[in-house]
């Protein structure tokens, strides 16, 4: 019976992954995907240059402003797309656009993998396979993470690498707790995962803070001084540092000719100045000068209710949870990591925009902590909450596709979301808007007119060839006498329309009591 149920569950996971990959490649292209794809190409060309296959690749990367932007995930993409290209391509699009869309399948796989390793962590905590599987289903149906899993080619692989690193580090510290041997393979895999994480985004260096927190908790549990433990494991620690740093250099060709540029990259990314504002509770909050409330406001509206229940129950169940030493290592380190990172982001006023995508990895940690807390409080409660949530998520996923990344929890009922919060800031609606343009009689009667949209690449690949004039927003001049078509997605929907514009249609869906506007299309006449 157990074998049969295990087979059915694994079959469900297989179909979930297959279907998820299939629908992900049909999602539109975001504003960042094509530029990130091009950064990956720059790194590949730099490698070819260093190896002697061309003459300009490294110098081009060296001059590039975002040269330190991690490209580790692109190497996986390069291999993945090489294999996929043997069997499939979107012939209707350019090669670069086709590769970006097909890469959605790999991104979705990283989301799926993050769920699998999160399940492994929760199972270490509760030692209950049934409830671990319930957690896995909850995670896989959570709309906000699914949405980012369709196309977020930086933050989702980063989240996956963080969870993998968390799992591998926990396994090592549990070995220290039991005084078991730490093998070379243990060191190699944690070094590989850590270096890959940091090579996606330099922010990944914060995983070392999580390791340190877990180390402190472990040293207290085994009642040994930090100095003594470091002395015992000095060689293993040295090997970890050496391997991790070496692999970081390997993953980033910009460091090959000068490894010490790594420290320059930390300084540059720490002081990055990128002035973007994010609509938050009706105010456009500047990324360079965020209030301390920013992160809490977005967490309040983006976390599932299960997380708030877990937070409320934790003080009542803390002693019971932490009676077992392994729970202190696992849950204690996760909780302190969440608190520490939020504090650091607020204290150092870290540049944030696009709601919470830069701390997307915290969502997995919060779900782990919340679910396990409720489990230890009451198995019946977590079962009911999970089933209700999964049912609710399923309906919303069907209703929202492909805009799950714009999901808000039930608290969103109390505000007009489209007017008060950033929604489709990445222009995912571009593809659906383009398809509606291609079949709209009013628009087609103005085929000879220019289409204005910013940025162009979120919509141009999907517009029929008959429209031979597509220009960016900034080329609209108020005194122009031309007639034209104006396309706006949510990030620029708040820009004031030029005079004499008529709304043709909106791209939207209904969430809770809100009409979520993703984009608008106008015909305009400046006469």
- Has residue 74 been placed in a domain? no
What angle (nearest 5°) sits at the alpha carbon of residue 136, between those of residues 364 and 141?
80
Backbone angles phi, psi at 449, to 5 degrees: -90, 160
- Has residue 485 been placed in a domain? yes
Domain boundary among 250, 271, 292: 271
Three-state DSSP class for residue 334: helix
CA 262 to chain centre: 24
For 370, the enclosing helix (H) or strand (E) is helix 360-377
Three-state DSSP class for residue 309: helix
Owner of token pair 């091009």: 38
Angle between helices 360-377 and 143-151 (to 10 degrees): 150
Residue pair 428/30 in contact by the 8 Å Cβ criterion: yes
Q: How many residues does the chain have?
A: 527
200 vs 77: CA distance, rounded Å: 12
- CB half-sphere exposure, 316, CA atoms < 13 A: 10
Three-state DSSP class for residue 518: strand
Tokens of 460: 């141009």
Residue pair 338/366 in contact by the 8 Å Cβ criterion: yes
Per-residue confidence in pLDDT tens, the chain, 527 aa: 677 889 999 999 999 999 999 999 999 999 989 888 888 888 888 888 888 777 778 888 888 777 778 788 988 998 998 898 888 777 788 888 999 999 999 999 999 999 999 999 999 999 999 999 999 999 999 999 999 999 999 999 999 999 999 999 999 999 999 988 999 999 999 999 999 999 999 999 999 999 999 999 999 999 888 888 889 999 999 999 999 999 999 998 888 888 888 888 777 666 566 668 899 999 999 888 899 999 999 999 999 999 999 999 999 999 999 999 999 999 999 999 999 999 999 998 888 889 999 999 999 999 999 999 999 999 999 999 999 999 999 999 999 999 999 999 999 989 999 889 999 999 999 999 999 999 999 999 888 889 999 889 899 999 998 888 898 877 665 555 578 899 988 776 666 776 788 999 999 999 888 999 999 999 988 76
Q: Residue 180: which region, alpha, beta or left (left: phi > 0; alpha: psi -120 to 50)?
A: beta
Contacts of 468 (CB under 8 A, 6+ apart): none
Which of 368, 374, 377, 293 is CA-nearest to residue 330?
368
Greatest CA separation for the chain: 81
Strands (DSSP E) contained in 201-264 are none
- Has residue 383 been placed in a domain? no
Alpha helices in 255-412 (DSSP H): 261-270, 294-302, 305-321, 325-327, 333-347, 360-377, 379-400
The domain containing residue 261 runs over which residues?
157-271
Work out how many domains the chain is built from and give that number.
2
For the entire predicted model, the pTM comes to 0.95
According to the model, what pLDDT value does residue 460 have? 92
- Has residue 108 been placed in a domain? no
Domain boundary among 256, 271, 286: 271
- Has residue 201 been placed in a domain? yes
- Has residue 179 been placed in a domain? yes
Owner of token pair 């539109």: 28
- Has residue 34 been placed in a domain? no
Domain boundary among 211, 240, 271: 271
According to the model, what pLDDT value does residue 68 have? 78
- Has residue 511 been placed in a domain? yes
According to the model, what pLDDT value does residue 305 have? 96
Residue pair 359/345 in contact by the 8 Å Cβ criterion: yes
Which of the 8 DSSP states describes residue 330? I
CA distances in angstroms from 357 to 80, 129, 158, 299, 351, listed in the order given: 24, 30, 11, 11, 12
According to the model, what pLDDT value does residue 167 have? 98
99 vs 190: CA distance, rounded Å: 30
CA 174 to chain centre: 29
């Amino acid at each position: 019976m157990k074998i049969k149920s295990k087979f059915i569950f694994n079959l469900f996971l297989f179909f979930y992954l297959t279907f998820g990959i299939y629908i992900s490649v049909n999602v539109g292209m975001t504003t960042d995907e094509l530029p990130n794809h091009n950064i990956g190409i720059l790194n590949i060309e730099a490698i070819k240059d260093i190896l002697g296959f061309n003459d300009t690749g490294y110098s081009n990367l060296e001059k590039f402003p975002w040269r330190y932007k991690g490209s580790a995930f692109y190497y996986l993409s390069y291999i993945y797309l090489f294999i996929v290209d043997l069997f499939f391509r979107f012939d209707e699009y350019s090669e670069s656009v086709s590769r970006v869309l097909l890469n959605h399948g790999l991104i979705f796989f990283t989301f799926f993998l993050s769920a699998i390793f999160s399940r492994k962590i929760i199972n270490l905590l509760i030692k209950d396979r049934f409830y671990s599987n319930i957690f896995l289903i909850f995670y896989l149906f959570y709309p906000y993470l699914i949405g980012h899993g369709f196309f977020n080619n930086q933050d989702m692989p980063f989240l996956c690498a963080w969870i993998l690193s968390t799992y591998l580090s926990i396994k090592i510290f549990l070995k220290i707790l039991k005084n078991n041997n730490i093998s070379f393979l243990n060191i190699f895999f944690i070094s590989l995962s850590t270096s890959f994480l940091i090579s996606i985004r330099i922010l990944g260096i914060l995983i070392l803070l999580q390791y340190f927190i877990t180390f402190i908790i472990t040293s207290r549990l085994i009642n040994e001084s930090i100095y003594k433990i470091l002395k015992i494991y000095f060689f293993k620690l040295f090997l970890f540092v050496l391997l991790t740093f070496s692999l970081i250099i390997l993953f980033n060709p910009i460091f090959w000719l000068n490894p010490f540029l790594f420290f320059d990259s930390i300084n540059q990314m720490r002081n990055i100045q990128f002035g973007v504002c994010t609509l938050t509770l009706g105010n456009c909050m500047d990324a360079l000068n965020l209030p301390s409330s920013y992160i809490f406001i977005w967490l309040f509206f983006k976390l599932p209710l299960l997380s708030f229940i877990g937070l409320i129950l934790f003080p009542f169940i803390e002693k019971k949870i932490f009676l077992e030493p392994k729970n202190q290592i696992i849950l204690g380190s996760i909780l302190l990591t969440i608190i520490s990172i939020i504090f650091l982001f607020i204290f150092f006023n870290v540049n944030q925009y696009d709601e919470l995508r830069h701390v997307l990895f915290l969502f997995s940690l919060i779900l782990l902590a919340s679910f396990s807390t409720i489990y230890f409080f009451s198995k019946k409660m977590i079962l009911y909450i999970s089933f209700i949530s999964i049912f609710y998520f399923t309906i919303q996923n069907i209703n929202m596709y492909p805009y799950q990344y714009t999901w808000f929890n039930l608290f969103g009922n109390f505000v007009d979301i489209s007017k008060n919060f950033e929604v489709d800031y990445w222009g995912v609606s571009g593809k659906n808007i383009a398809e509606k343009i291609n079949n709209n009689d009013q628009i087609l009667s103005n085929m000879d007119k220019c289409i204005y949209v910013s940025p162009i690449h979120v919509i141009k690949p999907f517009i029929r060839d008959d429209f031979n004039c597509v220009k960016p927003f900034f080329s609209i001049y108020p005194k122009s006498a031309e007639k034209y078509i104006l396309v706006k997605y949510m990030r620029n929907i708040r820009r004031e329309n030029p005079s004499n514009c008529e709304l043709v249609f909106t791209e939207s869906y209904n969430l809770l009591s809100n009409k979520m506007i993703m984009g608008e299309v106008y015909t305009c006449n400046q006469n």
